[in-house]
Amino acid sequence: MARVLGVVLCLLAAGVVWLFGMMSGFETRPTRACVTELYGWDPVAYRAPEHENIRIEESLFPPSSVCRWPDGRSVELVPWWNAPLLFGALGGAVALPAYPPVRRAVVRRRASRQDHNTPASRAVHTEG
């Protein structure tokens, strides 16, 4: 039951982190978020002519929103820590249910190695 709860919590955390990443840079005027990220808050700077041709490239997974200016400058609106946190939460959701079977297999393998290393088993192998 605890593993199921852990998986659910990891998936919920991944969902919240993904949603936060998707909402980064969400603005009624998309270029405003780009200019604000590059220069800091200036309520009218995004209207400058140099900011008219900004391209915004977005991806859903992992969340990414990159503003690209014609002169080559670019700004990522999604925080740098979003992707590692997202993949960590998804990794936890995968690792939690996989841990017990892997642990049992390792314990069985170690036990079988110990059985083969006893003096009686070595004696049987050397006689044959």
Q: Which helix (H) or strand (E) holds 96?
A: helix 82-116
CB 69 within 8 A of CB 53: yes
98 with 112, same domain: the answer is yes
121 with 87, same domain: the answer is yes
Q: What is the pTM of this model?
A: 0.66
How does pLDDT run across 41-87, given as a tens digit for each residue?
766 666 777 777 888 888 888 898 898 988 888 989 898 999 999 99
Give the C-alpha separation, 46 to 35, whole Å.
6
70 with 94, same domain: the answer is no
Q: Count of domains in the chain? A: 2
67 with 93, same domain: the answer is no
- DSSP label at residue 50: G
65 with 103, same domain: the answer is no
17 with 35, same domain: the answer is no
73 with 86, same domain: the answer is no
Give the C-alpha separation, 80 to 112, whole Å.
46
* Domain of residue 118, residue span: 1-24+79-128
User: Per-residue confidence at 118, pLDDT binned at 50, 70, 90?
Assistant: low
